[in-house]
């Protein structure tokens, strides 16, 4: 696998360094991010100029962070737990969005078909070398641009005393409770 890294562009090597190893999932996120940035005519965000909505919590999300500059900390990386290799990128200034979705059967054969099973290195190489249109379905989307990250003061939870964003506290029987305390009391989800 290390041979792949040495052969790859510097930006892929940065993704590997951040993620910790080479794998097919990281390659998917790398290629999806490159496709999204290209379609939007954008480059890595230094602040919140871009938004990335990821529909999985797999390895590829690390490549999204490295290449796009979208992070949970800046509030411009949004996770939707759908379990799909789908990545949506939005340019805040223009409002343009693009959805990049891995095509079915690209990495693993479609259900019922048999092929020579590929190992991790073969899968990674295939992902990195396939033409973009064979790897992904890419289309423009029109969705509302998510609001920028809000910064607000923390307030102590009346139960545990831990500082919590004021907007994340729930009022229950005169007490302001954090979501963790609500859950432990069987009051929240």
CATH of the domain at 165: 3.30.60
Q: How confident is the model at residue 113 (pLDDT cuts 50, 70, 90)?
A: low
Question: What pTM, to 2 d.p., does this model score?
Answer: 0.83
pLDDT band of 77, cuts 50, 70, 90: very high
Question: 93 near 121, Cβ under 8 Å?
Answer: no
Residue with the bigger pLDDT between 151 and 76: it is: 76
4 or 98, which is more confident: 98
- Helix (H) or strand (E) segment spanning residue 88: strand 86-91
> At residue 138, does pLDDT exceed 70?
yes
Q: At 105, is the pLDDT very low, low, confident or very high (cuts 50, 70, 90)?
A: confident
Residue 188's pLDDT is 59
User: Would you say residue 149 lies in a domain?
Assistant: no
Domain holding 179, by residue range, is 154-184
Contact 70, 51 (CB under 8 A): yes
Q: Are 57 and 101 in contact (CB under 8 A)?
A: no
pLDDT at residue number 176: 94
Task: Give the residue with greater pLDDT, 139 vs 120.
Answer: 139
Name, in order, each residue with C-beta under 8 angstroms of 186's C-beta and a sequence gap of 6 or more.
none
Residues 24 and 113 in one domain: yes
Is the model's pLDDT at 189 over the cut of 60? Answer: no
Q: Which two tokens stand for residue 110?
A: 């479609």
Share of the chain above pLDDT 90, in %: 74
Residue 16 sits in the same domain as residue 102: yes
Note the pLDDT of residue 115.
Answer: 62
Element (H, E) at 60: helix 60-68
Give tens-digit pLDDT for 19-33.
999 999 999 999 999
Q: Which helix (H) or strand (E) holds 100?
A: strand 97-102
Closest CA to 96 of 151, 150, 39: 39
| Same-domain check for residues 47 and 121 | yes
- The number of folded domains in the chain is 2
């Amino acid at each position: 696998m290390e041979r792949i890294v040495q052969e790859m562009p510097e930006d892929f090597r940065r993704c590997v360094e951040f993620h910790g190893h080479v794998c097919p999932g990281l390659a998917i996120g790398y290629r999806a991010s490159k496709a999204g940035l290209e379609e939007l005519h954008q480059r890595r965000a230094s602040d919140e100029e871009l938004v990335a909505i990821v529909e999985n919590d797999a390895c590829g999300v690390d490549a999204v962070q490295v290449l796009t500059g979208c992070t949970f900390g800046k509030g411009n990386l949004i996770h939707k737990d759908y379990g799909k290799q789908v990545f949506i990128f939005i340019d805040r200034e223009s409002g343009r969005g693009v959805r990049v979705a891995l095509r079915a059967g690209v990495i693993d054969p479609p259900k019922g078909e048999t092929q020579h099973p590929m190992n991790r290195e073969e899968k990674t190489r295939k992902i990195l070398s396939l033409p973009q249109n064979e790897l992904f379905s890419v289309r423009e989307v029109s969705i509302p641009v998510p609001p920028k990250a809000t910064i607000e003061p923390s307030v102590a939870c009346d139960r545990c005393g831990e500082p919590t964003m004021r907007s994340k506290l729930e009022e229950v029987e005169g007490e302001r409770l954090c979501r963790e305390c609500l859950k432990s009391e069987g009051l929240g989800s």
